[in-house]
Amino acid sequence: MLGDFRHIWWDCPIIRPYWNEILSHLKEILGYPIPASPAHVLLGLCAPELQHQTQGDRSIFWLALGAAKTVLASYWKKIDPPPMALWYARLWHGLAMERLADKMDNSRRSFDCIWDP
């Protein structure tokens, strides 16, 4: 149905290329594809084929999709999809916050294990 939650966040033909590009980047980063479904992308549900994800993979997955959803929410009334540059910027901001949180916890090693393998 036009204008419902699923349409606004997933089915809209203007938004689909945005998600396809996000998923393409995640495949490149993680080394395996994420299923292109709203259950996985919007809700973060783990597909059976993704049970092998490491803690680092899950951290990257959550940060990348959280950044994508935040950027998309800021663009929901616009005609064009969000530019990928905004997603990159939000992703780097999230990474900086992760680094800061680990530094405050004195757990730099865990940050390095996840983000700098």
Instruction: From 114, 54, 106, 30, select the one nearest 22 (Cα to Cα).
Output: 30
Quote the pLDDT of residue 114. Answer: 65
Buried-exposed string 52-73: b where 16+ CB fall within 10 A, e elsewhere:
ebeeebebbbebbbebbbbbbe
pTM, entire model: 0.83
Give 29's contacts (C-beta < 8 A, 6+ positions apart).
Answer: 60, 64
Compute how many other C-beta atoms are within 10 angstroms of the C-beta atom of residue 41.
Answer: 21
> Could you tell me the mean pLDDT of each successive run of 10 residues in the chain, 117 residues long?
83 94 94 88 75 78 93 89 95 87 70 64
